[in-house]
Amino acid sequence: MDTGALGGRGGGAQRIVRPMKRAAPTRAPAPAGSPDGPTTLAARVRAATGLSWQKARTLIERGKADVDGVVIRDPAARVGDEAEVALHLERPRPSAGVLSPSRILYADRDVVVVDKPAGVMTVPFDAGDRDTLDALTRAALRRMAPPGERYDPEVGAVQRLDKPTTGVLVFARTVAAKKHLSAQLREHSVERVYLAIAHGACQTATHDTLLLADRGDGLRGSYGHFRRPKGPAPKDARRAVTHVEALAPLADASLVVCRLETGRQHQIRIHLSEAGNPLVGEAVYIRRFPGRRIEAPRPMLHARVLGFVHPRTEAPMRFVSELPEDFAATLRRLGGEGVELPA
């Protein structure tokens, strides 16, 4: 690659224009509903380098791009004009299929508890999906086995986190463990505490709605929220309950604690958005938000605490995941440094 196209400084980090000029050719289309929304990381790299879309995406996926000092591997991540984007062309490509041992918080013959990084799917969605968290966890368990011992560990999903969401989750390693953990989830006895940074002044409240796979515009949402309800809710509507506690006010945003009774897909993102407080970094459930959008490399949602009863020993288990750097950096930027977090 011709690094001169970056206005480079030699073999180190190559700084892209900050802030990016607002001339139309250098900006990706704004998100729906926003006349001046943040562009994608791929668009920022492409505008500054002149590379093709494919080459810009490849650089990002190989871990060559930072946003405000944090490695972002999602080309579609939304990046505001004021964010500093840097390319590190000499940085080694991250090894595929490797999960750091520090991400394994606990493992025995029944369960394995993992601290999920951002940008990783929990399980495959399509047949060709690779480097999903379940596969990375299996590989990590194989590497952690005693010398000379070869086996293919079982890892079964009982809960999922969205691809951009970070934090703690548990996999079952036996059929009996999976049934036991699934029963705890159905009984709402699993402790699940999330931290979120949301737009605006959030209120402490409980959101109890019926979620639909399509609220009427192709997005998930609560029955009767997007459109006036007509008759009873459809049979496929699923009850979703989120308890939201306002933890600390931030600059045009709030740090909130979300406790789940149910675990529907995108539940927290939907409930906060419908309350008028979409997640900072949200790119989907933010179409109707009228306020200033705060940029972040991903939706700011982190699974902080997970507590459950061990499926074999019946011992209570509880795990806490520390804030990832991109979440902590966004929190500091919005004036939340020093806030006491739930433990």
List the catalytic residues: 162
* Cis bond upstream, residue 19 (ω within 30): yes
- Tokens standing for 118? 């951002």
Distance CA 300, CA 233 (A): 31
* Cis bond upstream, residue 290 (ω within 30): no
Spatial CA neighbour of 334 closest among 289, 278, 267, 280: 280
DSSP code of 110? S
Cβ-based neighbour number of residue 239 at 10 Å: 12
Distance CA 120, CA 260 (A): 22
Which residue matches tokens 């871990």?
63
- Tokens standing for 96? 């595929």
Which residue matches tokens 């149910």?
262
Distance CA 36, CA 42 (A): 17
- Residue 48: phi and psi, rounded to 5, are -85, -25
Pair 155, 310: CB distance under 8 Å: no
